[in-house]
Amino acid sequence: MKNVFKALNNLNATDIWVKGDTSSDITEDNYDTKVKCENKPTWSDFKTELDRLDALDVANKYQVDRQVEYPSIEDCIHALLDGGDTLTDLQAARQAVKDKYPKG
């Protein structure tokens, strides 16, 4: 649940403190004891925002996967400056990554 702090922040909570590991489940039953903050949102509002952020992560996972495997910025600059086969190879490498991780 890496989006716990982001969800609370998006809902205008301040001075956020979360007890324990934020990757562990925060449930309606333990929300009041695990999450302390000023302007604390209701459980319903928090859960709705958290679910929205988690869904975005799933929908955009391909972007993270691609970023790890794309050629480096330095390789891209060199390919642009060198042109020719280097640029063609770079374009092929990028396309291979896109084919491996298609948009959801």
- Ranges of each domain in the chain: 4-59, 62-100
Q: What is the pLDDT of residues 15-40, one digit of tens each?
A: 999 888 776 688 999 999 999 999 99
Query: How many CB atoms sit inside 10 A of residue 50's CB?
Result: 19
Which of the four pLDDT bands, split at 50, 70 and 90, describes residue 1?
low
Q: Tell me what the pLDDT averaged over the chain comes to.
A: 90
Please report, rounded to a whole number, the percentage of residues in the chain having pLDDT higher than 90.
66
Residue 24 falls in which region: left (phi positive, over 0), alpha (psi -120 to 50) or beta: beta
The CA distance from 3 to 93, in Å, is 32
Q: What is the pLDDT of residues 64-90, one digit of tens each?
A: 899 999 999 998 898 889 888 988 999
DSSP 103: -
The CA distance from 46 to 48, in Å, is 5
